[in-house]
Amino acid sequence: PLRARWLLLSRLFQPRNLQAGGEAAAADGELSCRSQRLMLQAGLIHPSSPGCFHYLPPAVRAMEKLVRVVDEEMREVAGQKLSMPSLSPEELWRASGRWDRMGTELFRLRDRHGKSYCLGPTHEEVVTELVAAQSSLTHKQLPLRLYQVSRKFRDEPKPRFGLLRSREFYMKDMYTFDASEEAARRTYSELCGAYGSLLGRLGLPFVQVQAAAGNIGGSMSHEFQLPADIGEDKLVLCPEGHFAANVETLSREQTSCPTCGGKLTRTRGIEVGHTFYLGTKYSSVSNAVFYSPENKPLLAEMGCYGLGITRILAASIEVLSTEDSIRWPSLIAPYQLCFIPPKRGSREEEGAALLERVYDDVAEALPHLAGDSVLDDRTQLTIGKRLKDANKLGYPFVVIAGKRVCEDPPVFEVWNQNSGEVLFLSKEGVIELLSKVQVP
């Protein structure tokens, strides 16, 4: 019965091309980068059309784990999860002025009755209309913090870098409604803190920078950036941490920190999150009001907070990995463990049964890892070849039945891929080590 639940590498739908050298083929001439190349080679994504990808089972596992971590952080700030339609009526976007302002960036379509819609790149108009429809909203129900994780659509003129700049992507977007500007700014600070907490838990080196509000609008905006050479955003940073900005927010070339006077450094970044204080920009259009303690209708003060789910997957691979091997934030690795039995016909072949027993014992002792353990059953290949593949795929831990598996008691080789450390442990030692592994 246990064997039936084993995850065998040969059975996983993960079309790997780990031997591909140089640039992996990108769809229709798209520019490639490290994360795109590694994700294609590892069988995480497969191109469908320019800027659109199939997310294969391991990538979906990583994304679902990331969403669970996001949900945990959003619960900490009283977020309530909902799901809104991808199709947005034209009239909502015309009322806000963005139907024309966003131009060709919107995917537009008509239904059989001639009614126009767009595929939502973001949902400010839709969520504000939803809240405005609640005619009895009172100050006691605020702050209201609504969020979703859904597919978004943007007609990129030149999709590139795989999931970093695509036409169809997953985003977490939260919309907040507060009773006053002061309360809305407190919410803004709290949500920025939640984003910092999330990226910190993932072990990602990020900077929070002043940003332009762009088409979304509002009077205050920040981006969460992962410094990277292929990043599309140009950033200036104070080495002491007093000041950080996207250069597009500066009216002139700024070379010194406005706080300490130190020389600013320049770098490039990948934007993974963006926050906006909106004020009443959208609530005034839809008349999204709440009733004050004096029973007066007042416009809600709003904020919106985007977090690129699929972009974080790609950006984390971009900044943590080597040129030929994926390194995941361990919390969201598709699988935490890979077990490698001896090669068929080798002197250590009898160790295969011992390793399988460890696989079962880990699942029994640590049930949260039961579905996170893969057995590399390609025993026609050497241990070295399979270890090399495991290294490229980025399993945080690899447990091998090597030469010492025939000792009494058996000793297993355990590779911590993120630290590069190799340990030789008994079965009990393996279980103790893995007991510290966290899975969201």
Report CA-CA distances (Å) from 126 to 95, 134, 289, 435.
Answer: 11, 13, 15, 45
User: At 2, is the pLDDT very low, low, confident or very high (cuts 50, 70, 90)?
Assistant: low
Q: Mean pLDDT for the chain? A: 94
Q: Give the domain range for residue 403.
A: 335-435
Distances (CA, A) of 17 to 26, 40, 47, 284, 306: 14, 8, 14, 53, 33
**Are residues 342 and 196 part of one domain?**
no
**Do residue 88 and residue 137 come from a single domain?**
yes
Residue 411: pLDDT band (50, 70, 90) is very high
Residue 22: pLDDT band (50, 70, 90) is very low
Look at residue 375 in the predicted model and tell me its pLDDT.
97
At 166, give phi and psi (nearest 5°). -120, 175
Burial class (CB in 10 A: 0-12, 13-18, 19+), 1: exposed
pLDDT in tens, 323-338: 999 999 999 999 999 9
pLDDT category at 213 given cuts 50, 70, 90 is: confident
Nearest to 352 by CA among 378, 331, 321: 378
Residue that wins the pLDDT comparison between 199 and 249: 199
In the predicted model, what is the mean pLDDT of residues 89-115? 96
Q: Which residues of 255-284 are buried (b: 16+ CB within 10 A; e: fewer)?
A: eebeeeeeebeebebbbbbbbbbbbbbbbe
Give me the DSSP letters along 361-399: HHHHH-GGGGGGEEE---TTS-HHHHHHHHHHHT-SEEE
Say which residue, 103 or 214, is predicted with more confidence. 103
Phi, psi of 265 (to 5 degrees): -100, 155
Angle between helices 57-76 and 181-201 (to 10 degrees): 140
Tokens 């379509």 -> residue: 109
Confidence of residue 23 (pLDDT cuts 50, 70, 90): very low
Indicate which CATH number applies to the domain containing 236. Answer: 3.30.930.10
What pLDDT, in 10s, does the model give residues 347-372? 888 899 999 999 999 999 999 998 99
Q: How many domains does the chain have?
A: 2
Q: What is the mean pLDDT of residues 230-257?
A: 92
CA nearest to 332, candidates 69, 41, 8, 39: 69
Residues 115 and 262 in one domain: yes
How many Cβ atoms from other residues are within 10 Å of residue 200's Cβ?
Answer: 11
What CATH number is attached to the domain comprising 398?
3.40.50.800
Alpha-carbon span 169 to 174, nearest angstrom: 16
The full length of the chain comes to 440
Answer whether residue 12 is part of any domain: no
215 vs 101: CA distance, rounded Å: 7
What is 293-315 written as a DSSP string? TTS-EEEPEEEEEEEEHHHHHHH
| Residue 7 included in any domain | no
**For residue 214, is pLDDT > 90?**
no
The amino acid at residue 43 is G
Q: What is the pLDDT of residue 20?
A: 65
Residues 344 and 312 in one domain: no
Residue 279 to residues 133, 176, 181, 211, 416: CA-CA distances in angstroms?
A: 19, 10, 7, 17, 48
Q: Which residues pair with 233 in a beta bridge?
A: 269
Res 27 pLDDT > 70? no
In the chain, how long is the greatest CA-to-CA distance? 84
Q: What is the pLDDT of residue 66?
A: 98
**Which pLDDT score, from 0 to 100, does residue 26 have?**
53
Percentage of residues in the chain having pLDDT higher than 90: 88
- Greater confidence (241 vs 76) lies with 76
Under DSSP, is residue 10 helix (H, G, I), strand (E, B) or coil? Answer: helix
Segment (H or E) for 11: none
- Looking at the structure, do residues 280 and 393 belong to the same domain, yes or no? no
In a domain, 370, yes or no: yes
User: CA angle at residue 203 from 200 to 204, to 5 degrees?
Assistant: 85
Average pLDDT over residues 314-330: 96
The arithmetic mean of pLDDT across residues 45-64, rounded, is: 97
Does 305 share its domain with 347? no
Q: Are residues 152 and 211 in the same domain?
A: yes
**Reported confidence tier of residue 206, pLDDT bands at 50, 70, 90:** very high
**28 domain residue, yes or no:** no
% the chain with pLDDT above 70: 96
Q: What is the pLDDT of residues 131-166, one digit of tens each?
A: 999 999 999 999 999 999 999 999 999 899 999 999
Average pLDDT (417-429) is 94
CB 152 within 8 A of CB 120: yes
Do both 165 and 229 map to the same domain?
yes
Domain-terminating residue out of 259, 294, 320: 320
One domain, residues 236 and 371: no
Q: Is residue 257 part of a domain?
A: yes
Lowest-pLDDT range of 72-76, 117-121, 156-160: 156-160
Pair 75, 116 in one domain: yes
Residues 243 and 344 in one domain: no
Q: Which of 18-27, 263-272, 304-313, 406-415 has the lowest mean pLDDT?
A: 18-27
**In whole angstroms, what is the distance from residue 144 CA to residue 175 CA?**
8
Asked if 195 and 275 touch (Cβ cutoff 8 Å), the reply is yes
52 domain residue, yes or no: yes
Does pLDDT of 227 surpass 70? yes
Residue 418 pLDDT class (50, 70, 90 cuts)? confident
Query: Which of 320, 344, 370 finishes a domain?
Result: 320
pTM for the predicted model, two decimal places: 0.95
| Domain final residue pick, 290, 320, 350 | 320
Residues 294 and 345 in one domain: no
Of 129-138, 199-208, 211-220, 279-288, the range with the lowest mean pLDDT is 211-220
Supply the pLDDT for residue 30. Answer: 56
**Looking at the domain assignment, is residue 24 inside a domain?**
no
Instruction: Flag whether 220 is in a domain.
Output: yes
CB-count exposure of residue 114 (10 Å: 0-12, 13-18, 19+)? exposed
**CA 315/CA 334 separation, integer angstroms:** 16
> Quick one: average pLDDT of 95-115?
96
